[in-house]
Amino acid sequence: MSENRRVLLVDDEMHVLQAAYRVLRKSVDVTTANGPKEALEKLQTSEPFAVVVSDQNMPGMDGIKLLGVISRKAPSITRIMLTGNNDQKTAMNAVNDGRIFRFITKPCDSESLLKTIEEGIAHHRTIVAERELLEQTLSGSIKMLVDIIAVSKPRAHLRSSLIQRWVRKVHKALESKPTLEQGISAMLCTLGYLTLPDELAERYFSGSELNPDELRSINEAAAQARDLVMNIPRMEGIADAIYYCRKGYDGSGFPLDDVQGENLPESARVLCALIDLAEITTGNSQSFESCMAELERNAPRYDPRILDAMRQSLGGDQVFAGGVEAERKSVSILQLLSGDTLAEDIRDADGRLLLAAGSPLSSVTIKRLGSVKFLREPDMRIDIWRDYKVAPPQGVPGAAVS
């Protein structure tokens, strides 16, 4: 991947921008913005920048406020302030509110400006490299947790897979930018159910009526999940989304605190409505309209925007049949592929559930099935849904069990 050397210069004086552009253009990829408004527009419409250099004294929004906004919208961008003010208070505000990397006072010679920008580009490169390493580490940790759920609580894995698919559709309808928090909180929203007794978990996921103590245990599983996720660095936002996934928009539900409405993480608000929808659909074949009507009877519990998005995006969802391009097949254990979706429950010889219908298969879950002796018999077939856009036909199955 080529190094990002794009730099955004922000000033309300065009002659300053033009002079800086002439000095820098041979060394870096320069874009200019005549004031804060144009700068924010270019951040939205242009390729990502490595560095932003902003003047402090501008009408409408000063440099400190502009760099503060940029730090929230694009935290990996290195922020540099150029100002004629030389007082300590301005410098402190720039560091604390604008979270700047360097503070340069005017007049500044071209050599010093270019040197500072090069340092900013190197700083950006370090931040991006650390973020990519963190994302790879997170990806491995999350995959391990998902596989543990699949092996230990098959119906919990099925529930989270269903909710994860719904989450993607709802956030698309909400026109919200996909985030790590959305995807991972959906994948791990059932993590706390690992702490439940098997009998209680089975009754909950099969839609059986639960007594108040059992319902309390189900709700408190969100706190157990939060505590587990908090052990992974930089997962605080995801942990909060999971913790509040049983909390209503009106403040009802778990946990018993004062957080409600827009103060709840958006991912938690989405999960709350989708978890409740999944509970309504468990064990029966109600129509989507009747399920939504049941949710809307308790409308204050849900963010109205999210209910609208659910209506727009989930009406045609096939709960167990995979995607539109999926084809139902009957295959042997050796022909299973990562990405296949089970079309039937798989149980061991004693009738214990190994994996539930609708569960997506991974290399770990395929190996688990491969360890069950009777499933390896030559005439044993397993019904699956296979989406060839996800798992294309292969001469040698990529996830075959040896």
CATH tag, 153-313 = 1.10.3210.10
Question: Mean pLDDT, to the nearest integer, of 332-345?
Answer: 84
Please tell me the predicted confidence (pLDDT) of residue 324: 42
Domain residue spans of the chain: 6-128, 153-313, 326-387
- Contact between 239 and 229 under an 8 Å Cβ cutoff? The reply is yes
Q: Choose between 79 and 357: higher pLDDT.
A: 79
Distance, CA of 377 to CA of 35 (rounded, Å) = 72
pLDDT at 190 over 50: yes
Please tell me the predicted confidence (pLDDT) of residue 10: 93
CATH top-level class of 6-128: alpha beta
Neighbour-count burial for 49-86, b at 16+ CB within 10 Å, e otherwise: bbbbbbbbebeebbbbbbbbebbeeeebbbbbbbbebe
Please tell me the predicted confidence (pLDDT) of residue 322: 38
- To the question of domain 326-387 being in CATH 3.90.105.10, the answer is yes
Please tell me the predicted confidence (pLDDT) of residue 86: 61
pLDDT at 246 over 70: yes
- pLDDT per position as a tens digit, 215-240: 999 988 888 889 888 887 778 888 99
